[in-house]
Amino acid sequence: MFDINNSDTDITLCMFPHLREFIAIDARDDRTGGAAILSLSISNIFQEDFFKTIEKDFSQLIRRDQIGFLDLMTIPQQVENSIKANALKKIVEELGIDNTDHTSSVGILFFVGTLLTFEENQLREAINGLFGTRLSQSLLDQLSDQLIYLANQERQAVKEKTKKDLAALITGKRGSYLTLWESKGN
């Protein structure tokens, strides 16, 4: 089902945008104990030192000498890039990987859109296609079970958010508009 060449990715992060948990698949060849599937919490990443780093980066962005109007308009993208880079750095630290080791590659798989529409057997097939050459069958089964559970939780969270958004719009607590249809594109 998937023809993606995932054999070069040492670490794959499976992210669920509405959940506080994500999965890291650490398939580095030099990992002590072999490949592993780790369940991580966002709260371990977003700690005080993370926020201080983001605040420092933001302060440096807006306090630059000779900042022009166009520079001001790109600040949101620069803040987003800072958040992504610092979050990835914290995740790598959480996995116990030396930040000076730039030989490991990291892939990120977001469970959104079409991926959330997969039936259980389709998701198992996709997982086998993506990780079958790097993980043992027992790890593939464990990963499939965890991802299916979290994908179901993500689906439920999306439904709840949509219901709340509609209720807030109807009651007037949401402002003047709501996106009823959105192209998720993948």
Residue 42 DSSP SS3: helix
Name the token pair of 144: 């499939």
Question: From CA 125, how far away is CA 140, in angstroms rounded?
Answer: 10
Strands 11-15 and 21-26: antiparallel
How many residues are recorded in the chain? 186
pLDDT confidence bin for 34, thresholds 50/70/90: confident
Asked if residues 118 and 151 have their Cβ atoms less than 8 Å apart, the reply is yes
Q: What per-residue confidence (pLDDT) applies to 2?
A: 36
What is the residue type of 175? G
Query: What does residue 78 show for φ and ψ, rounded to 5 degrees?
Result: -70, -35
Reported as a pLDDT band with limits 50, 70 and 90, residue 1 is very low
pLDDT digits (tens, 9 = 90+) for 134-169: 899 999 999 999 999 999 999 999 988 888 877 777
For the chain, give every domain's residue range.
11-171
pLDDT(69) > 90: no
> What gap in Å lies between CA 70 and CA 125, rounded to an integer?
47
Which residues lie below 8 Å from residue 119, measured CB to CB, with a gap of 6+?
none
Helix (H, G, I), strand (E, B) or coil at 28: coil
Characterize 120-153 residue by residue with b for buried, 16 or more Cβ atoms within 10 angstroms of its Cβ, and e for exposed: eeebbbbbbebbeebbeeebbeebbebbbebbee
Q: Is 116 exposed, middle or buried (0-12, 13-18, 19+ CB in 10 A)?
A: middle
Q: Report how far apart, in Å, the C-alpha atoms of 172 and of each of 24, 117, 178 are.
A: 40, 31, 11
